[in-house]
C-alpha cells in the first residue's frame, strides 16, 4: 500500500513593507538582520530595539496577573504563621523548574518548604489525592500547585477537607468552572487582562516570586533577612520556557536571553553537570541546547520513572551529587530515545498500512504496549512527518496529542469528550485518558471536527523562510549579526533563507542518517542536512535549499555552514 502523499510548501515570510529599511537606518543593522526583524512582525523602532536587547527592567508588572494579590496575601500569612508550604509540581521540565524555583525562593524568604512530583506511571498527570496526602503527612498547611491544578476540582476539595488551603499556578486551558482554590494564577483566566497567554508555568511562578518579594520589601520584611536575588533563578525560567515550547516573545524572550547568561556562568551545579554529560560548552549555550539537549534529559526522569530526581539535581549544591544525578538522567534519556524510535516506527507503519488512517486529517494511533511516557514525543514526530495533528495512545489508555498551527487540539478534544475518561492541555498539545473500546469513536469524532474546522490546504509541511540569499552574502560578519536575533524557538524561529541553484560536491552519508557536502565557489561552504539521507539522490543535480546559515565551531576552529531544513530540485518550488 502506498504511503500518504505529504504536501510541502515553501512560503516567504513578510512584514511591513518598509520596516526593514527603517530598522536598518535607525538601528544601524545590516539588511539581512533588518529583514528578519521585519519578518517577525515588528513594526516600530522601539519594538525592534527591545527585540535586539531584551531588558529585565522591561518586564511587565507581575501584579497585573489575575489571582496574584490573593496568592501573595496567602503566602505572607504563611510566613507570619511560620507554616510549612507544600509544592506539587508536574513531572515535565516546566513542572520541575517551577517546583525548584518556588521552593528555592520561598526557602530564602524563611518558609519551610516540602515538594513532591507525581510518578507519571502510578499517579498520572495533575494534582492527586495521593499527592495531597503526601504533602499533608510532611506537615504542609498550604499547598501550591505548579504547572497543574486548574481542573483539579475534587483534589482541591480533598485538600480543603484536610484544612489545607491551595494556590494554583497553571497555564493550561481553563475550564468553565474553576476549582475552589484560594488563589488561581493562570494567564488564560477570562478575567486576566495582562495578555500573558504566552507564559508557561515557570514564567508565571517567577512573576509570583517577583510580586511577593516586592510586597515583602514594602513591608520592610527584609530588614531582618537578606532579600533574595531573583536573577540567579532565571536559569530555571529559561530552561522551562524553552522546553515547554511556548512562544519566545515579550517577557519570555527576556527570560531566556538573561537565563542563558546565568547558565553560562555555571552557578548551579545541576546545570554544569547536565552540560558535561551533553558535551556542551557553557560559554556557547543557546536556546537550542536547552530544547534539544538539556530539556530531554530532565524530561527523561519523569517520562520513565521519578521526576523528583530532576528537582534534586537542580537543588543540590554538591557537584559530585549533581554529576551522579546528571549521569543517571543521561542514561534514562538514552533508554527513552531507543523506546521512542521503536514506537515511532511502529506508529508510522500503522498509519501507512491502513487506508483509513492514511487519509485521516487527524492521526489517532494506539497500542496497549506503548510506553505512555514517550507517546507525546512520538506524536510530535508524526506531526513533523505527515503535517497533520496526531494523537498517540499507549498503555493504560494514556495518550498525548500534538497539533499544527491551523488546528486547536483542545477544542477538538472538547467536541469529542464523550469518548474520553479525561483530558487537558491547550491548542498545540494535550494529554488524554480513554478506554481502548472508545478508540474508533474517538477517531471518528476528531476527524468529524477536523472536517469542519481544518481546511485541506492547511495540511502538510510548511517551511516559512526569510528571503533568498546569495552565497557571497554568507560571511562571518553577516552570520554573526544574524545571531543577534536569538534566542530562537517557537514564535521566533531561526533565520531561514533560500539558496537557489546549488551544485554540491563530496556528498557523504554520515552515521545517524545525515548528509554532508560542500558548495559555493571553490566548495568552501559546508552543507549539513540532519536526518535527510533519504534525499541523497536529489543532490545529484542542481538543487534549491532552505537553510540556516551559521558558524560551526569545533575544537577551536570556526567555519561557515548551511544547515539544510529542506531541499528540492532546482526550479520546483515557485
Convert the pLDDT of each residue in 24-69 to its tens digit: 999 999 999 999 999 998 989 999 999 999 999 999 999 999 999 9
Q: Please provide the size of the chain in residues.
A: 574
Looking at the fold, whether 185 and 42 belong to one and the same domain comes out as no
Contact present, 252 and 237 (Cβ < 8 Å) = no
Strand, helix or coil for residue 292:
helix
| Position 523 pLDDT exceeds 90 | no
Element (H, E) at 169: strand 165-169
Q: How far apart are CA 135 and CA 88, in angstroms?
A: 8
- What cell numbers appear for 437 in the block? 473500546
Contact present, 423 and 432 (Cβ < 8 Å) = yes
Q: What is the pLDDT of residues 8-20, one digit of tens each?
A: 899 999 888 889 9
The reported pLDDT for the residue numbered 2 is 38
Looking at the fold, whether 296 and 187 belong to one and the same domain comes out as yes
DSSP 44: S
CATH number of the domain encompassing residue 480: 2.40.50.460
| Position 1 pLDDT exceeds 70 | no
Q: Domain ends where: 291, 313, 328? A: 328
Percentage of residues in the chain having pLDDT higher than 70: 98
Q: Containing domain of residue 144, as a range?
A: 62-328
Contact present, 260 and 294 (Cβ < 8 Å) = no
Mean pLDDT of 214-231: 96
In a domain, 340, yes or no: no
Q: What is the pLDDT of residues 269-283, one digit of tens each?
A: 999 999 999 999 999
Provide the 10 A C-beta neighbour count for residue 256.
28
Looking at the fold, whether 195 and 91 belong to one and the same domain comes out as yes
The reported pLDDT for the residue numbered 546 is 97
Q: How far apart are CA 260 and CA 235, in angstroms?
A: 6
Looking at the fold, whether 476 and 455 belong to one and the same domain comes out as no
Using alpha carbons, list the distances in angstroms from residue 17 to 34, 37, 38, 136, 231. Answer: 12, 12, 8, 59, 38
DSSP string, 96-144: HHHHHHHHHHHHHTT-EEEEE---HHHH-SS--HHHHHHHHHTT-SEEE
Band (487; pLDDT cuts 50, 70, 90):
very high
Q: How far apart are CA 71 and CA 212, in angstroms?
A: 9
Looking at the fold, whether 299 and 367 belong to one and the same domain comes out as no
Contact present, 350 and 365 (Cβ < 8 Å) = yes
| Position 5 pLDDT exceeds 50 | no
Looking at the fold, whether 412 and 493 belong to one and the same domain comes out as no
Total tally of structural domains belonging to the chain: 3
Band (6; pLDDT cuts 50, 70, 90):
low
Looking at the fold, whether 83 and 195 belong to one and the same domain comes out as yes
| Cα dihedral: 311, 314, 316, 322 (round 10) | 100
Q: Crossing angle for the helix pair 319-352 and 308-315, nearest 10 degrees?
A: 140
CATH number of the domain encompassing residue 142: 3.90.1640.30
In a domain, 104, yes or no: yes
Mean pLDDT of 247-263: 97
| Position 4 pLDDT exceeds 70 | no
Looking at the fold, whether 184 and 79 belong to one and the same domain comes out as yes
The reported pLDDT for the residue numbered 402 is 95
In a domain, 119, yes or no: yes
Q: Where are the alpha helices (DSSP H) in 265-406?
A: 269-277, 287-289, 295-304, 308-315, 319-352, 355-359, 375-386
| Position 265 pLDDT exceeds 50 | yes
Amino acid at each position: 500500500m502506498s504511503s500518504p502523499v505529504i504536501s510541502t510548501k515553501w512560503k516567504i515570510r513578510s512584514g511591513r513593507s518598509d520596516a526593514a529599511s527603517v530598522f536598518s537606518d535607525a538601528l544601524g543593522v545590516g539588511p539581512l538582520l533588518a529583514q528578519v526583524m521585519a519578518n517577525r512582525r515588528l513594526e516600530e523602532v522601539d519594538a525592534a530595539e527591545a527585540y535586539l536587547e531584551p531588558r529585565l527592567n522591561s518586564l511587565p508588572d507581575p501584579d497585573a496577573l489575575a489571582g496574584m494579590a490573593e496568592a501573595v496575601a496567602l503566602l505572607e500569612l504563611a510566613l507570619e504563621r511560620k507554616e510549612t508550604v507544600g509544592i506539587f509540581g508536574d513531572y515535565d521540565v516546566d513542572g520541575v523548574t517551577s517546583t525548584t524555583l518556588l521552593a528555592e525562593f520561598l526557602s530564602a524568604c524563611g518558609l519551610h518548604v516540602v515538594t513532591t512530583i507525581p510518578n507519571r506511571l502510578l499517579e498520572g498527570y495533575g494534582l492527586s489525592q495521593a499527592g495531597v496526602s503526601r504533602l499533608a503527612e510532611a506537615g504542609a498547611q498550604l499547598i501550591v500547585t505548579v504547572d497543574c491544578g486548574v481542573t483539579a476540582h475534587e483534589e482541591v476539595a480533598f485538600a480543603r477537607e484536610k484544612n489545607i488551603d491551595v494556590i494554583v499556578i497553571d497555564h493550561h486551558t481553563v475550564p468553565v468552572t474553576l476549582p475552589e482554590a484560594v488563589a488561581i494564577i493562570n494567564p488564560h483566566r477570562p478575567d486576566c487582562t495582562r495578555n500573558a497567554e504566552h507564559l508557561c508555568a515557570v514564567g508565571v511562578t517567577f512573576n509570583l516570586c517577583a510580586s511577593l518579594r516586592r510586597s515583602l520589601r514594602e513591608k520592610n520584611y527584609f530588614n531582618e533577612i537578606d532579600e533574595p536575588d531573583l536573577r540567579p533563578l532565571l536559569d530555571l525560567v529559561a530552561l522551562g520556557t524553552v522546553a515547554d515550547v511556548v512562544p519566545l516573545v515579550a517577557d519570555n524572550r527576556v527570560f531566556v536571553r538573561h537565563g542563558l547568561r546565568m547558565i553560562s556562568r555555571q552557578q548551579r551545579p545541576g546545570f554544569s553537570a547536565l552540560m558535561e554529560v551533553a558535551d556542551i560548552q557553557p560559554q556557547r549555550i543557546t536556546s537550542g541546547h536547552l530544547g534539544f539537549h538539556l530539556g530531554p534529559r530532565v524530561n527523561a526522569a519523569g517520562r520513565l520513572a521519578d521526576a523528583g530526581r530532576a528537582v534534586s539535581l537542580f537543588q543540590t549544591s554538591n557537584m559530585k551529587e549533581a554529576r551522579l544525578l546528571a549521569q543517571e538522567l543521561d542514561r534514562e534519556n538514552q533508554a527513552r530515545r531507543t523506546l521512542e524510535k521503536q514506537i515511532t516506527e511502529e506508529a508510522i507503519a500503522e498509519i501507512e498500512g491502513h487506508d483509513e488512517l492514511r487519509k485521516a486529517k487527524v492521526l489517532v494511533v494506539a497500542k496497549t504496549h506503548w510506553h505512555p511516557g514517550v507517546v507525546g514525543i512520538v506524536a510530535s514526530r508524526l506531526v513533523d512527518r505527515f503535517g497533520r495533528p496526531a494523537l498517540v495512545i499507549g498503555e493504560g489508555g494514556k495518550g498525548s496529542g500534538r497539533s499544527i498551527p491551523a488546528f486547536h487540539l483542545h477544542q477538538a478534544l472538547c467536541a469529542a469528550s464523550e469518548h474520553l475518561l479525561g483530558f487537558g492541555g491547550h491548542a498545540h498539545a494535550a494529554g488524554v485518558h480513554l478506554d481502548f473500546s472508545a478508540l474508533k469513536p474517538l477517531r471518528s469524532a476528531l476527524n468529524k471536527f477536523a472536517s469542519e474546522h481544518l481546511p485541506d490546504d492547511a495540511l502538510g509541511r510548511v517551511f516559512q523562510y526569510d528571503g533568498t540569499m546569495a552565497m557571497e552574502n554568507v560571511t562571518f560578519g553577516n552570520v554573526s549579526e544574524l545571531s543577534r536575533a536569538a534566542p530562537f524557538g517557537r514564535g521566533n524561529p531561526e533565520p531561514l533563507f533560500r539558496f537557489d541553484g546549488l551544485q554540491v560536491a563530496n556528498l557523504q552519508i554520515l552515521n545517524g542518517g545525515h548528509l554532508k557536502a560542500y558548495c559555493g565557489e571553490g566548495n568552501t561552504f559546508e552543507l549539513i542536512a540532519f536526518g535527510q539521507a533519504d534525499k541523497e539522490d536529489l543532490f545529484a543535480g542542481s538543487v534549491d535549499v532552505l537553510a540556516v546559515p551559521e558558524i560551526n565551531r569545533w575544537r577551536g576552529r570556526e567555519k561557515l555552514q548551511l544547515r539544510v531544513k529542506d531541499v528540492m530540485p532546482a526550479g520546483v518550488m515557485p
